[in-house]
Structure 1
Amino acid sequence: MLDDPLRSVAVVGGGIVAWSAAVAIRRRLPGVRVTLVATPPSPDALADRMACTLPSAIGFHDDLGLGEDDAVVRAGSGWRLGTRFDGWAQGSPPYVHAYGAYGQPFGTASFHHHWVRAARGGTAAPFDEHAPSAMLARAGRIAPPDMEPGSPFAGVQAGLVLDLPRYEQMLRAFGRHLGLEVRDGEVREVRLRGADGFIDALLLGDGGMVEADLFVDATGPTATLRTAIDAEWEDWSAWLRCDRIMQAEVPAGAVSPLDHVTALAAGWQWRVDAPGRVLHGICYASADLGDAEAADRLTEAGGVSTAETICFRQGTRTDPWVRNCVAIGDAATVIEPLEWTNLHLAHSAIDRIIAMMPGRACHPLETADYNRQTQAETTRVRDFVLCHYAVARRPEPFWQIAADLPPSLERTLRLFAERGRLPFFEEETFTRDSWLAVLLGQGMLPRQVDPLIDGTPPDRSDAAMAAYRAAIARSVAHFPTAADHMAAQSRRIVR
């Protein structure tokens, strides 16, 4: 019967998004038969090609039963605590967006209102000096995961820098351990049922056929399965103008939990000090910067001799799940890697598929709710990335956003600009502290100070903030460096 539970799922794709989906569904829904059609990896799928992740990757691994030993150490991953942004607001110093709390609440209002009052009075220290994770990252140190509750460092979160080939090998081995069925090949035809337009089967290049109740499209921007149903696409290029990425890596020995992002006249450039290598990249608008110039920038930055170019078009499918096909990763959303959200969105989609798995009929009410939640999350990720551009202070034409901002971001910025308040949105990926780190880090001060802090005199606010900064500074030096922390993890495995 069509109301029966799904019995089989086919995942199509050849990168880490496809392997992650197949492994997760097989692991968490053991009664479902899962087949991975391992097509050649898409060269322009950003979720498969970007090595940096948000802290949410750790939770995804936990749900799979993969601990640090396998998913991090044996896979050659490194730790990252945040990003240092340089040049996004000319005339302002660089700032750090790190994961975790900024400041400690006291008095009758949130911490940032006290800081805003001090900033308007000219007495505030940099906002990120009140973030334990940011100060750890600046010092090149890592806090152990077993911090005592109540410690300012207990809320520090870390993302990963993946060694992509080794990470994919780990997923492949784990998938086969779980009994995942893998078929290598290419999809020659997506056969639709005439009655309802559902995908009936996939015809492969070798003459074989794959049938399933549900098809997960992880084929990258081409979206081989999903585009067989319709070509619906919401274009974001009026706001997010970058359409090229050039990246390379060079050997190195030092590691750092802080990656660096520098604004350029027509885009931005990154550097990540990962275990055994330095990752360099540049994200730019081809209308304003040629490929040869971009390559020269990479050469100047790190002695890069060769680099690969990825072309992309930013946007999303407002309905990634239609009938019995759901698109994930770049098949659903393409967004530049500023803030490294690419794999996070794929992991989130996978978790949502598992949590909201419908019956075999894929009833429109169920898929519509999946699409609603996915669109809410994707919209706010877009807004957060776009926020960096919207509040940037640079003179070049690239930085002048021609179109009106999306209403959701416009509302956020107008509310914050008035009194430092941030609205609530469903399915937020980034915390309020992350929004504050960018807004205040790039010099956007509210017009008025929130009256809720009137009960705390300015000198008491200043003293409390100074004491908190001093406590962070005293503690940071006692934590291990990123290299020592990773060496200790490796020794634990050897034992």
Structure 2
Amino acid sequence: MSLRTILVVGGGMVGWSAAAALKRRLPQLDITIVPVAPPADALADRIASTLPSILGFHGDLGIGLGDAVLRTGSHYRLGTLFRDWVEGAPDYVHAYGRAGMPIGGAPFPSLWARAALAGAAPPFDALSAAAMMARTGRFVTPQADGLLSEHSFGLALDIPRYTAMLMAFARHVGVQGHLGEVAHVEQDARGDIAAVVLDNGTRLTADLYCDCTGPAARLHGTMAVPHESWQAWLPCDRIVLDDIAGDDEAAPMERVTATNHGWRWVSARQRGTVYCAASGARHEGAVAFRSGATLEPWRGNVVAIGDAAVGVEPLEWSNLHLAHSAIDRLIAMLPAGRPHPLEAAEYNRQALAEARRVRDFLVLHYATARRDTPFWQARAQASLPESLAHTLRLFRERGRLPYYEEETFDRDSWLAVLFGQQVLPRRIDPLTDAVPPDEAAAALASLRDSIAQAIERVPTAARFRALQMERLHERA
């Protein structure tokens, strides 16, 4: 049997992304979507902030910044400012770019850590061009060379307009649609999906089904696949969202502030509050969610994508990224005929490794936070996933980070959070001995000054978008 038809069930950003990508990159297949509206707890469809990986996803589809950003009213974002996660410590920016550069052959993080242990280091993010652009409200896309060449950026989406763009693109490349709600899912003798029946009586069949229906997993959930809960490490389980009209003058970053029961944020397109209901907090209009992952996102002829496969709180904005990654992985591993168990097993291994490492990065924020309230004290005393515990043991001893397959956040991101939350190694890499402290201090001061001078010439984020809009209209 050759693979000819795929049915995507679920609308919103995840469903339309899946349908558009499958048809664009595999035009020989018949792709149909049932655009069921995403539920309130489908965070991959509800969170406006994205990681830089969205640009690669757009690039594979042939969608440029004009369509993905300017015509949809979206904004650029260089990272996130974290405030009050460590009481008494300054805020810090986790930006998408390298901080510092090697000095005299010695690794920059070790040199900075040595200076920090001596109480003589500038803020770590002051040595990141992306972080300093974010703090000063400036923005430019990566340049050909120099200090402004090695950063990346995500987006703060206008979700309704962005979803409408995806919908139009999917239809343009040939995706077919059926309106209606899912009334019933038929299964065959093997337990695979035999058909999806809509409330108007339409019976839809396919060789492969993509479940993009959110945490309820309307298709995948019928297959009794084991689920792994992460609530012991990520206890926040309520979210309040408020989309805003868009602030053209907003800095190109989110501001995330720790609270007594969780955290809150504000960005150019959205504000929200995330908290743990068991800690006693209450907010009107809160939506319940849970953190965890299915152990087999690909089971039989069904692939769970987005919140149907993995759910996490939006700290660090990985929700839509995990959905896009699942779509890319499916396209790369799509079988020629009936899915083979070995193909599904390898897909599941990679997907779960990626999801667990994202989980570790989020738990890192809680594990290294220091706040004197019951919620945060419990976080400090909680046991950790062994993979994260190993990472922290290695880093706290020698300032080194292990390598993991399927890593979403690079070493620069890990360092930004670790150093930002005042986590320093006990011992310094001996390679730093080749650079005297005075020489390293002079190099750090020179780099900080060079970054400040470089970004003085960079336009504000609002001005950069305005210039792009002018050029877009000139070409129209």
Coarse TM-score class (shorter-chain normalised) = over 0.9
Task: State the distance in 1 between where 2:228 and 2:413 align.
Answer: 26
How many angstroms does 1:483 deviate by? 0.5
Q: Of the candidates 70, 74, 79, which is equivalent to residue 77 of structure 1?
A: 74
Q: Which amino acid aligns with 1:217?
A: D
Give the equivalent residue in structure 1 for 2:22.
Answer: 25
CA distance in 1, matches of 2:156, 2:450: 29
Q: Distance in 2 between the 1:465 and 1:280 partners?
A: 36
Distance 1:482 1:40 in 2: 33
Match of 1:385 in 2: 362
Q: CA RMSD in A?
A: 1.2
Q: Is the 8 A contact 1:47 1:346 kept in 2?
A: yes
Shift of 1:191: 1.0
Once the two structures are superposed, residues 293-342 of structure 1 have per-residue CA deviations (whole angstroms, 9 ceiling, x without a partner) of x45xxxxxxxxxxxx42210111012110111010100001100000000
Q: Which amino acid aligns with 1:148?
A: A
Cα contact 2:97–2:152 (8 A) shared by 1: yes
**What's the offset of the Cα at 1:40?**
2.8
With structure 2 as the length reference, what TM-score do the two structures score?
0.97
Aligned residue runs from structure 1 range 96-107, under 5 A: 96-107=93-104
Gap runs ≥5 in structure 2: none
Structure-to-structure mapping, 1:265-276, within 5 angstroms? 265-274=260-269
Alpha-carbon distance, 1:231 to partner: 4.3
The normalised TM-score by structure 1 is 0.93
* Matches of 1:382 and 1:397, distance apart in 2: 22
SS state at 2:384 partner: coil
- Is 1:202 aligned with 2:178? no
Q: CA deviation at 1:475?
A: 0.8
Aligned partners of 2:261 and 2:281 also within 8 Å: no
In structure 1, how many angstroms separate the alpha carbons of the residues matched to 2:212 and 2:302? Answer: 11
Match of 2:437 in 1: 458
1:318–1:371: 8 Å Cα contact kept in structure 2?
Answer: yes
CA distance in 1: counterparts of 2:388 and 2:85, whole angstroms: 18
Matched, 1:148 2:144: yes
1:359 shift after superposition: 3.2
The aligned residue for residue 258 of structure 1 is 253
Structure 1 segments, 4+ long, off by >3 Å, are 249-253
> Would you say the 8 A contact 1:14–1:42 is kept in 2?
no
Q: How far apart in 2 are the matches of 1:139 and 1:52? A: 19
Distance 2:19 2:119 in 1: 54
Report what 2:408 is aligned to: 429
Indicate the SS of the match to 1:228. helix
Distance 1:253 1:479 in 2: 16
Counterpart-to-counterpart distance in 2, 1:253 and 1:100: 23
Inter-partner Cα distance in structure 2 for 1:71 and 1:114 = 40
Q: In 1, distance between residues paired with 2:144 and 2:174?
A: 40
Output the CA distance in 2 between the equivalents of 1:237 and 1:135: 35
SS in 2 for 1:189: strand
CA–CA separation in structure 2 for the residues paired with 1:38 and 1:138 = 39
Say whether residues 1:410 and 2:389 are aligned partners: yes
1:288 alignment counterpart: 279
* CA shift digits 1:388-410 (9 cap, x unpaired): 00000112121223542101000
Q: Given the alignment, which residue of 162, 168, 171 partners 1:176?
A: 171
How much has 1:255 moved relative to structure 2?
A: 2.4
Output the CA distance in 1 between the equivalents of 2:348 and 2:457: 47
- Equivalent residues in 2 for 1:434-453 (5 A)? 434-453=413-432
Question: Contact conserved, 1:77 with 1:160, CA < 8 A, in 2?
Answer: yes
1:253 CA displacement: 5.0
Secondary structure of the 1:246 match is strand
- Unmatched segments (≥5 aa) in structure 1: 296-307
> Following the alignment from structure 1 to structure 2, what is the Cα–Cα distance between the partners of residues 456 and 289?
52
Partner Cα separation in structure 2 for residue 243 and residue 198 of structure 1: 32
Match of 1:472 in 2: 451
- Mapped contact 2:236–2:275 kept (Cα < 8 A): yes
Give the secondary structure class of the aligned counterpart of 1:43. Answer: coil
Q: Trace 1:52-71 onto structure 2 (pairs within 5 A).
A: 52-71=49-68
State whether structure 2 residue 351 is matched by structure 1 residue 354: no
